[in-house]
Structures are given as structure tokens and as C-alpha cells.
A = this chain, B = another copy of it.
Amino acid sequence: MMNAVTDTTPTEATATEIVLSIDAMGGDSGPATIVAGLELFLNKQPDAKVILHGPEAELTPMLVAKNLTASVTVHDAPEVVKMSDKPSKVLRSGKNTSMWSAIEAVRAGQAQVCISCGNTGGLMAMSMLRLRKAEGVSRPAIACLWPSRNPSGFNVMLDAGADIRADQDDLLTYALMGASYARNGLDIARPRVGLLNVGVEEHKGRAELKVAHELIAGAADLGDFEYIGFVEGGDIPSDRVDVIVTDGFTGNVALKTGEGTANLIAELLRTNLKSNPLSMLGALLAKGALKALTKKVDPRRVNGGVFLGLNHTVIKSHGSADATGVAAAINLAHRLARSGFSDKLAARVASAVSLAQDVREETDAPS
């Protein structure tokens, strides 16, 4: 089912046992949905091992009922991070939460990747505190997958909202991390990277974008990606580019605007197809085709924002994800763990830090 993962750094982790650390709490519909998603995942990957974090008395009976105890170990954690909790509160008093426990298992080396449906701000703050930023990374980013016209069906966009700011050095780091993620998560040997702007002309856009433009172009060889220059909002779902780099404010607005537009069109399509008996019959006949479309742009299939730039990989699943969505996020985690993604990414970024410095010095020189 999974494609072979190729990368120039041969650190395949397939020989090692894959263990995933999953926060069972914090999703909108509770741990039963997480366990149901876990079951879907384990049906396809029966060799994977999972550590599940949450109240043991609640979780163990669910696992017993679904006969999952051979693959899943429970780490008891009595408390839950709420969706409304501010990051500062989570850091102060979150030590007994399932989220904290899920991150700790990765930190302690018991598992390779952590997955949580909980509060994004809390998860990022806790991940930064416990896992620490990787060498050379000043702002971690959230990478999301976007349905596209590319053969893989997806593009990568980052930052989708980890930080509302990004300077030129952060944008360069995002380019390196995004390319590494596309290589390991989407199996694209030499990803095409674009920098999001309001026009493709070089004289347009904010000052930091012009500098980032030079920095990213200079790092393309070392980062093993192709830099295609500035791209616009309309290119995000296109086949011109594989990785779209932007700051977390713009990326978050773009992501939510895209989702909102897709939802509006889906709603209008449903309403219009019910408008008269002829179109209802037509919709019935075209059901398979319409279903294939829905599947293609189904947000559940792209569930899983990946935190990049920490010493381990953390995946944030949508709080409202159902079992299919949870399974998609766990599958993504499994794929990244199997490819030894964290180590590869860290190696790329670390080696690029000195390069970026060189490029910057050249850029600063009179042109």
C-alpha cells in the first residue's frame, strides 16, 4: 500500500519497530473516536505498536472490546487539556494531562511520532517546551497537505499557523523543512518549492519576501529541491509547485479560506441537486462520480498538520476528526516514522544553517 520512501540520506528505519504515541483525549467526540480510528489503522498496519495516553479505567475496556490490547499499551493520564485552555495555562498545570504524557513518550524514546487531536496552541507550546527546537530552527512551523492537481493529489503548505510571524530566515527554514517533508511524506524526490506572494514579479511584495527569495534560491542545491520563485494564492492547489512557503498568518487565512470555499461549493451542489426531480435522478446516476469528487477533496483525507522544526515529529489531527480522519493522521505518522523523517529533516536543516549564513552574506554584498 505504502510507496517506497526515497531520500538521498539512506536512514530507513523500517528494520526498527515502529511505535506511535497517541493522545486519546482532547478530540471533540472523545476517546471512542480515537480508538475507532486506531482500529482502522491497525487493520492495515497490524505490526505497528501504539502507546495510548489517557485515563486507564476508561481506555482499557474500549481496547479489550475491540481486541486491540496486543498492539496497544495504555499510559494512564487522568487530566485533559481543554480546547479553550490558553497555552500559558497548559504549560503551567498540564503535567498530568494525556497530551503531556503523549509528548513525553516521544521525548523518552519510547515512540517515534506523537499524535494529538487536542488544542493546537497548547500542543505546540508543550511540544516546544519538552521536545525543544531542532538546531538552526528559530520558529517551528505546521505543515498541512492541500488537495492539488499534482500526481500525488496533494501539495504541502507551511506555516499553516504555528506562528503569526516569519522573517526571511524562518522562510528559508520552512523551505528546507517543507521540501524534506514532501520527500518523506509524499515521496517526491526533488520537490518544487514556491514562495507565496501577491504577484510573481520579482519587484512585488514585502521586503522580507525579496530577501527570502534570494536565500531560498541559494539553498536549493543543498536542500535538494527546485526553487520555482514566487507563487500566488491560485497556485496553492496547482501542479506548478509541491511546497508552498509562507508565514503562519497568511498560511492560516489561506487554509481556512480554501476550506470555507470548498464547503460553500459542496453545500450549493447538494442544494442545487435537490432542486427538482430531474436533477435528483441525475445526481443518483452520477452518485459514484460525485462520491469520488467528495473523496478527492475530503478534508478527512488530508487530516494531520505536522509540526516541523522540533527534535521529534508531532502531528496535530483536527479536533473534529472522525474515525476516518483519525486513521489518516495515524497513517501519516506511521509513514513518517518508517522513513526516519525526524533525523533526515534535522540533518537537512543543520547542514543548511551554515549555508544560509553564506547566502546571506552574499546577498548583503552590493549587487
Q: Indicate if the CB atoms of B265 and A236 lie closer than 8 Å.
A: no
* Bound CA–CA A269/B269 (angstroms): 10
- Taking CB atoms, residues of chain B closer than 8 Å to A256 are 232-234
- Which residues of chain B have C-beta atoms less than 8 A from A232's C-beta? 252-253, 256
Interface membership of chain A positions 127-145, coded 1 if the CB is closer than 8 angstroms to chain B and 0 otherwise: 0000000000000000000
Pull 5 A–B residue pairs with CB atoms less than 8 Å apart, ordered by A: A233-B257, A250-B253, A253-B253, A265-B265, A282-B282
Q: Is A285 an interface residue (CB 8 A)?
A: yes
For A233, what are the chain B residues with a Cβ–Cβ distance below 8 Å? Answer: 252-260
Instruction: Tell me the bound Cα distance from A215 to B286 in angstroms.
Output: 51
A263 partner residues in chain B, CB cutoff 8 A: 234
In the bound complex, residues from chain B placing their C-beta under 8 Å from that of A161 are: 198
Contacts of A279 in B (CB 8 A): 285-286, 288-290
Determine whether A222 belongs to the interface, using a CB cutoff of 8 Å to chain B. no
* A308–B261 CA distance with the chains assembled, in angstroms: 25
- CB of A296 within 8 Å of the partner chain: yes
User: How far, in angstroms, from A204 to B232 measured CA to CA in the complex?
Assistant: 26
> Taking beta carbons and an 8 Å cutoff, which residues of A are in contact with B?
86, 147-149, 161, 164-165, 196, 198, 203-206, 232-238, 246, 248-250, 252-265, 267-269, 272-273, 275-276, 278-279, 281-290, 292-293, 296-297
Besides the contacts A206-B249, A269-B269, A276-B289, what 13 more A-B pairs have beta carbons closer than 8 Å?
A: A149-B267, A198-B249, A232-B256, A233-B254, A236-B261, A249-B250, A257-B257, A257-B261, A258-B260, A268-B297, A269-B293, A273-B286, A281-B285
Q: Which of A165, A253, A285, A288 has the most CB of B within 10 A?
A: A253
* Nearest-Cβ distance from residue A243 to partner chain B, whole angstroms: 16
Interface of A is mostly: helix
In the bound assembly, the distance between CA atoms of A337 and B86 in angstroms comes to 49
Which residues on B sit within 8 Å (CB–CB) of A276? 288-289
Contacts A232-B256, A249-B250, A258-B257 given: A149-B264 contact, CB under 8 Å? yes
- Chain B's closest residue to A249 (CB) is B198
Known: A233-B255, A254-B254. A289 touches B260 (CB 8 A): no
Partner of A275, one of B205, B292, B297: B292
Q: Are B260 and A273 in contact (CB under 8 A)?
A: no
Contacts A268-B297, A286-B279 hold; do A164 and B206 have CB atoms under 8 A apart?
A: yes
Query: Is there contact, CB below 8 Å, between B234 and A260?
Result: yes
For A273, the chain B residues whose CB sits under 8 A away are 286, 289-290
Contact B203 A86 (CB under 8 A): yes
Closest chain B residue to A263, Cβ basis: B234
Q: Is the CB of B264 within 8 A of A292?
A: no
**Which listed residue (B252, B288, B289) contacts A198, Cβ 8 A?**
B252
Query: Known contacts A149-B264, A258-B257: does B275 contact A282 (CB below 8 Å)?
Result: no
Q: Which of B204, B237, B249, B289 contacts A261 (CB 8 A)?
A: B237
